[in-house]
Amino acid sequence: MVVGKSEYVLEVLKDVNGESIDKALKIVGLNIISLKLKSDIKGLYIKVEAIGDKDTATVIIRNAHTNIIFESKNDDILVDKGTDTITAESNSSNTEIKYEIKNFTIDELIEYAYNVPIKDISFIQNGIDMNLKIADAGLKENTGVGLGNYLYKKASDDFTMAKAYTAAASEARMSGYLLPVMSSAGSGNHGLVAIIPISYIGRKRNISGEKILRSVALSHLITIYVKVYLGALSPVCGCGVAAGVGCSAGLTYMLNGDNAQIKGSINNMIAGISGMLCDGAKLGCAYKLSISVDAAVDAAKMAIEKIYIPEDNGILGSTAEKTIQNLAQVSNVGMNNTDEVILDVMVKKC
């Protein structure tokens, strides 16, 4: 309402400054905003009805953060993609290119990371620089609750320092620090987990820039692979079970793991951290990200030593692909009411 520009898409808050925050707080103080939970719809759904002195407007977003399916102003319908028929399973956003990743195997994604011309993934370096920059800012300015600095002081090696950097970056981002990040699978926090640990550890170990880029590329691919099965919103923390899995696979690749070890790290990761709940983006995410990095490092180290959690354990499958599909089934079917309960708790605090 104060600085929003639709052309910014997911960077809609980038013009925020002290003056705009003061204006926004005054609007909140007027108690004219009503927030309600629509409990009969699953997945990502946001409906906004704005009522002014002369005009009213309605916009509905469904299944993806930029997927507008309905717009109206007063009695004029400007966009209508069928709000009654769109579901989480069959929706227009499923035509996005990211869903094509389901047509590939984990081996094929690894093969791509090995062989893709380096010029085709050179843009990832921008994301590495971007995400490490906000991590540095988080540490220097002690943003958030100070978790990044707490972990930084306790860090004893490059693995634990990567954990501190990731937490600091998340704290800076969640507290509104005015620096951009490279996302992964549509999430900024996912991008921090998918990129920072691999790039930090790689630099500290003098691993070649090309190997780091290919490792981060694989991390992104596995993150997206898991995320398209979980959905845009899930009851389980995507930073842990999507980006964390991607990070573990990328780390294993960077540490010279073979295909079996990379897939083993995926199973190891899902065996350990699949139960972390997602309760929305907030400062507490920094702690979850740090836990995810810890688990990703352990999963990768175990895989390098050829220590794999057996497939007969819990939701693990006979292949890494099946394990990811099982995770999605537990999240999307088995935890069907979890989102509603979490949201109900959160809305009552508003």
Cα 216 from chain centroid (whole Å):
15
pLDDT (tens digit, 9 = 90+) per residue, 286-334? 999 999 999 999 999 999 999 999 999 999 999 999 999 999 999 988 8
- Give this prediction's pTM: 0.86
Q: Determine how many CB atoms are found less than 10 A away from the CB of residue 29.
A: 8
Nearest-CA neighbor of 243 among 221, 276, 271?
A: 221
Q: What is the mean pLDDT of the chain?
A: 91
pLDDT (tens digit, 9 = 90+) per residue, 106-160? 999 999 999 999 999 999 999 999 999 999 999 999 999 999 999 999 999 999 9
Q: Is 158 exposed, middle or buried (0-12, 13-18, 19+ CB in 10 A)?
A: middle
Q: Which residues contact 35 (CB under 8 A, 6 or more apart)?
A: 347, 350
Q: Which residues contact 253 (CB under 8 A, 6 or more apart)?
A: 110, 113, 214, 215, 218, 262
pLDDT (tens digit, 9 = 90+) per residue, 191-212? 999 999 999 999 999 999 999 9
